């Protein structure tokens, strides 16, 4: 039986005629109908076997496939958004500790495998409790955002900055030895203190202490952060004593 309406399915013999250009669509032809036609030609099903019921079933099937494909795309978008939310700090526009540790672990594996230098800088905001007590926690949050924005604006594209929690930040520096990382830490600390925080008409000074640590073979993310933390407190005590 041959279907002869305006949405009839083209014969599979059309595939055998490379010189004949196949129109992209026909008047009144829906995407589902076109998908049926394309599928049947590819599958090589003779047009004579497409009774009205078979044709209708194929159209419904292809419509369901199109719906599932769209739903899958929407699901992928939602998953991407959820992953981004799970990796982004709730206060600052930088990755959170979870994302930072994952990136640090990845970078450490790369550095060890290819014998390339890499370092981590640990930052701690000075006097945050005093800012909170004097000006309120909103001012303290603004100081944290100020530090995050300053660090992000002064690193390379290959570097990675994240908030580790509270008043602590970390910066991952691939292809960087410890002396260079220490110098970079000083530069970043200077960038933070160079611009005061404008809080309700008051200019609040914000400073940070830092510690730099080179990644060594066999070191894991936890030990690297712990070493950075200790180096940071050594630097903070020296600055306070001075």
The DSSP letter of residue 210 is E
| Mean pLDDT (the chain, rounded) | 81
For residue 219, the model assigns a pLDDT of: 86
126 and 51 together in one domain: no
Do residues 168 and 226 touch, judged by C-beta distance below 8 A? no
Do residues 148 and 94 touch, judged by C-beta distance below 8 A? yes
137 and 35 together in one domain: no
Query: Encoding tokens for residue 92?
Result: 């600052």
Query: Encoding tokens for residue 50?
Result: 């497409």
Cβ count within 10 A of residue 164? 20
16 and 72 together in one domain: yes
Find the CATH number of the domain harbouring 231: 3.30.70.270
- 114-140: buried (b, 16+ CB within 10 Å) or exposed (e) per residue? eeebbbbbbbbbbbbeebbeebeeebb
Lowest mean pLDDT among 6-15, 92-101, 124-133, 210-219: 6-15
Do residues 62 and 32 touch, judged by C-beta distance below 8 A? yes
pLDDT, tens digit, 9 for 90 and up, residues 112-139: 999 999 999 999 999 999 999 999 999 9
Cβ count within 10 A of residue 89? 21
pLDDT, tens digit, 9 for 90 and up, residues 87-114: 889 899 899 999 999 999 999 999 999 9
Helix (H) or strand (E) segment spanning residue 119: strand 118-125
For residue 223, the model assigns a pLDDT of: 84
Q: Count the helix, strand and coil residues of the chain and give each as a percent rounded to the nearest 5.
A: 55, 15, 30
193 and 125 together in one domain: yes
219 and 102 together in one domain: yes
Q: Cα–chain-centroid distance for residue 62? A: 34
Kindly tell me if the per-residue pLDDT of 76 is higher than 60: yes
220 and 105 together in one domain: yes
121 and 75 together in one domain: no
Domain that residue 215 falls in: 97-241
21 and 125 together in one domain: no
- The answer to whether position 145 is within a domain reads yes
79 and 131 together in one domain: no
79 and 107 together in one domain: no
């Amino acid at each position: 039986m041959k279907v002869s309406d305006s949405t009839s399915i083209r014969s599979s013999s059309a595939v055998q005629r490379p010189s004949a250009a196949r129109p992209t669509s026909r008047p009144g032809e829906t995407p589902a109908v076109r998908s049926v036609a394309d599928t049947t030609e590819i599958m090589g099903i003779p047009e004579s076997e497409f009774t009205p019921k078979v044709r209708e079933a194929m159209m419904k099937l292809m419509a369901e496939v199109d719906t599932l494909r769209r739903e899958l795309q929407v699901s992928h978008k939602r998953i991407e958004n959820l992953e981004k939310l799970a990796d982004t700090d709730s206060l600052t526009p930088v990755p959170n500790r979870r994302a930072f540790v994952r990136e640090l672990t990845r970078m450490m594996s790369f550095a060890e495998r290819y014998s390339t230098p890499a370092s981590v800088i640990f930052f701690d905001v000075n006097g945050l409790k005093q800012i909170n007590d004097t000006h309120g926690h909103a001012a303290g949050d603004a100081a944290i955002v100020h530090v995050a924005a300053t660090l992000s604006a002064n690193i390379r594209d290959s570097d990675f900055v994240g908030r580790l929690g509270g008043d602590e930040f970390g910066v991952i520096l691939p292809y960087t030895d410890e002396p260079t990382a220490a110098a970079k830490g000083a530069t970043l600390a200077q960038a933070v203190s160079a611009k005061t925080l404008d809080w309700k008409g008051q200019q609040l000074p914000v400073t940070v202490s830092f510690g730099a640590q080179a990644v060594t073979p066999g070191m894991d993310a936890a030990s690297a952060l712990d070493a950075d933390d200790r180096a940071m407190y050594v630097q903070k005590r020296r600055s306070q004593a001075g």
